[in-house]
Structure 1
């Protein structure tokens, strides 16, 4: 073989680098035949629910105007968007201006998780090496994953647009809004294409892409709040892929050109992923892991210490993000209170009444950070499944370590870490609120209100552990508990969800202190349920076989 014949094969951009892309795309579609429709139909159905609920709540112009008053405040901008067209508000403008943000965020998650699942996770599991042993180009797998994400984004965009058009809303605005959701999915799919090259661990790749999504959400929030107040760095919204989709202003300006920024960002980050993939070995990351010590530290002598060593590095990143985020939200307490004075009656009631807005806002922040801590807990349990399928759990169990001790050590560390994150969130919100309002007494109340959600988070952790112990492949189902709790907690009262339906969520029973009195009985019951589920998880894990492949 001549040198000239070897060079094209080493060039990832040569035609041969994409050989087998179509076959791999078919395989990915078959593997994701449930996830594909779960994501796309789920986002479309969520918009259907928002549309029907708003149609029932806002039956008159007076109802719409009351919602507009809230949307024009910094609080409305932080949780919704810049509020284009709210000076002449319609139902469709309110839908995309307030609830559209959550569809855009969900679409972004769909894009990044899809790419990580079919690239770095496959590589880590060892299946990519088997695939590449066949006639498959170097970039075929990444290209197929991006094509799958593009297909999902397109279907999501069309379904959302169809839902809005079917609701009787303007066709152009519906298409613009749907395209914005699809463009957001593409932007974060491209982000994941770059982050999967950095680390050998799928969790690190997804975490890095998720951090970009979180930063995009925060930048958009700060920029939109400044836009509503007509002072401050409103340009921050233009640094966010989520903000680009919102800047299309569906049903108001109907401008397509901001989506060019999303497409350019997706193309640039995907190109970065292609370029960096040629600078690393299969199975490795662009940044190699540092070498460990030749001898283990003396304290690494127990399953509990091993669990702390595995979860510790990730907890550092989570801690920094939670502390910075909570400090930012807390520092905006006084401006938010000033804006909430014009909020609609439903929102004021949700936050505890006109005389209790401060406590209501801090209680709502506690609930929000409880969901963040719950996300950390579920991801930690999923990492245990990765440890098992990648063959690292079995060697540990081959020693004198028992199954209950191993899983119990992990659950202890994760349970304490969720408590730690809630404490940091309480400190950040409390210090920020105290500095913003000048009331130092808010610090203690805020910390207590945030930490009080720990039993609900522990129950979510225990449910995830129970699924891991009994049926490890079903662990992702616990995300439904968090998603429903988030929906029922933030949208249930506003959309008049029945009280029985709201009470299904474990987060609905403790009370959003300091706005509400803490229920000691609920704290005890949730803690007891978490303990029972944990015991059942330990027993189930002891009985089942260890799985060495996904």
Structure 2
């Protein structure tokens, strides 16, 4: 571990702003959510009603997990924010590890560092230490903050440590992924796929009910967060599972790092044919070759996610059973169908945020091509910058519609089978999903502007998604001013199915996206490639 201390200090210095944003943001959002919960569900009657409705409903179980104990604000917080918050902690950890391992190798800096008095394992160990510190600090600050707000210390620390444990696991996942691929982008994609599978296993296991495969939740680190049951028994022993998995992953990563060359991956880049096919003679053909794997993967993933969420849509109606007061309110709003539409609109909004991850990946492929010195040879040919950027942006924009339509098809088919109207439900939910396309295009435009004007800050595109996630999912709960929530393009999308669709907000969002793209093209013309 020679040089470990120096590399840790270097990483902390380089990421001092980034880490501050992650830590302050996640801790602040968590504590603000807890404060808002106290205002919304401060009374015992309100929490009991929550338990009787959303807390035991398959649809809400799939989205948020089980509500084990609503007698305390901490228990409601663990249900309402736990899954999404721990998901963000996992993303932070895997991004940090990739940034200080595989990305450093791609840039050539790690080879220079390795020529000094630095051991082979020190760079990987430094990245792991920084990611562990970040997630642990977040967990401890959350625990201390909840304790200071009057919640039980045992429950607060169970929540905080379980929160951090997801970061520990995905620190290990990121460390292993960094050994497999030659590019940081692919390493992040592998880690992201593992995170997506973990979310899916948790959703299926939670929504299964007592007679279904609830054991699937035990296969997911996100499920372990819930099984710790913060404020509802405080099962600290469950935290041994993420610790054990992290240890296994760390041993695997430290072993694999010695089995490959610096700059190489255990999964070598596949050599292509000696002669290129005619399809690669254009910028569009090259973009299709580079983008197709990701587009197919995201299409299949959101199709499956749509199937999972659509399969539990019928369970929303069970919220009305045994609750005459709620049934009366819902009947005044439009009957049982209305509450199902509210649920479907919610899950379509969540899926649209997932599709924004795809569109950022597709857009930032331009930055990958530039930093890996493949863009310059392409632009040295008669291919213009407009054609090069436009070909990749085409897959980001059209691909958005493809992946969202796939999610709508998945949800529409399974929900349509239940209600006996497959064709009608597929049309409704595909239409609802496609309604979010202009909002996702705005995200693509922002990513392009960052790439064109401040390429070194292109990765800030991921922060844009996190901000929109917080504004969309927690904005009303945090009682933010409407102008703040309006900063997210997803706020302006009609809540379909169920709500009336007006063309004005969709047209305005499309114009904003087009304006951002125009700014991006103009900025790219004014800077040097590389």
Please indicate the TM-score interval, normalised by the length of the shorter structure: over 0.9
1:134-533 matches, cutoff 5 A? 134-226=116-208, 229-339=209-319, 355-440=337-422, 441-533=424-516
- Distance in 2 (CA, whole Å) between partners of 1:434 and 1:414 is 29
Change (3 A) 1:179 1:340: farther
CA distance in 1, matches of 2:182, 2:147: 44
Residue 158 of structure 1, CA deviation: 1.0
Deviations 1:184-205 (A, max 9, x none): 1111100111111111121111
Q: Which moved more, 1:180-189 or 1:473-482?
A: 473-482
Please report how far the alpha carbon of residue 357 of structure 1 lies from its aligned counterpart in structure 2 after TM superposition: 1.7
What corresponds to 1:536 in structure 2? 519
Partner of 1:15: none
Change (3 A) 1:339 1:204: farther
Q: How do 1:119-130 and structure 2 match up within 5 A?
A: 119-130=101-112
CA distance 1:359–1:82, shift in 2 (3 Å) = closer
CA–CA separation in structure 2 for the residues paired with 1:530 and 1:174: 42
Q: How far off its partner does 1:479 sit?
A: 3.3
CA distance in 2 between counterparts of 1:75 and 1:398 reads 54
Deviations 1:358-391 (A, max 9, x none): 2222222221221111111112222321221222
| Cα shift readout 1:104-141 (whole Å, capped 9, x = no counterpart) | 11111111111111111111111111111112111111
Separation (CA, whole Å) in 1 of partners of 2:361 and 2:346: 23
| In the alignment, structure 1 residue 74 sits paired with structure 2 residue 54 | no
> Over residues 228-283 of structure 1, what are the superposed CA-to-partner deviations in whole Å (9 max), with x where a residue is unaligned?
x3221111111111111221111221121111010000010111111222222221
Matched position secondary structure for 1:196? helix
Query: Does structure 2 retain, via aligned residues, the 8 Å contact 1:76–1:98?
Result: no
Residues 328 and 80 of structure 1, relative CA distance in 2, 3 Å threshold: closer
**What is the number of residues matched between the two proteins?**
524
Q: Distance in 1 between matches of 2:513 and 2:330?
A: 33
- 1:24·1:141 contact (CA, 8 Å) conserved in 2? yes
The offset of 1:46, in angstroms, is: 0.7
More deviation, 515-524/75-84: 75-84
Q: How far did residue 80 of structure 1 move?
A: 2.1
Are residue 83 (structure 1) and residue 67 (structure 2) matched? yes
Contact 2:204 2:308 (8 Å CA) reproduced? no
Deviations 1:276-314 (A, max 9, x none): 222222211111122101111111122222211111122
Q: Is the counterpart of residue 102 in structure 1 residue 56 in structure 2?
A: no
1:261–1:542 Cα change, 3 Å: same
Question: Any idea what the Cα deviations from partners look like across 1:127-164, whole Å, max 9, x if unmatched?
Answer: 11111111211111111111111111221111111110
Q: Distance in 2 between matches of 1:525 and 1:152?
A: 39
1:483-522 CA distance string (max 9 Å, x none):
3332333333445443333322211223122211112122
Instruction: Please report the RMSD computed on the Cα atoms of aligned residues, expressed in angstroms.
Output: 2.1
Deviations for 1:387-418, whole angstroms, at most 9, x for unmatched residues? 21222212222222221221111111211111
- Whole-Å separation in 1 of the counterparts to 2:441 and 2:266: 36
Taking structure 1 as the reference length, the TM-score comes to: 0.91
**Under a length normalisation based on structure 2, what TM-score does the superposition of the two structures give?**
0.94
* 2: CA distance, partners of 1:450 / 1:341: 29
Partner of 1:9: none
Partners of 1:217 and 1:280 lie apart in 2 by: 31
Cα distance change on mapping 1:494 and 1:31 into 2, 3 Å: closer
Q: Does 1:43 align with 2:23?
A: no
Q: Give the Å deviation of 1:348.
A: 6.9
Q: In 2, are the aligned partners of 1:332 and 1:436 still within 8 Å (CA)?
A: no
Residue 352 of structure 1 and its aligned partner are, at CA, apart by 8.2
How far residue 419 of structure 1 moved from its aligned partner, in angstroms, is: 1.1
Does 484-493 or 284-293 show the bigger shift?
484-493
Q: Quick one: distance in 2 between partners of 1:481 and 1:112? A: 18
Native 8 Å contact 1:332 1:432 kept in 2: no
Residue 26 and residue 340 in structure 1: after superposition, are their counterparts in 2 closer, same or farther (change >3 A)?
Answer: farther
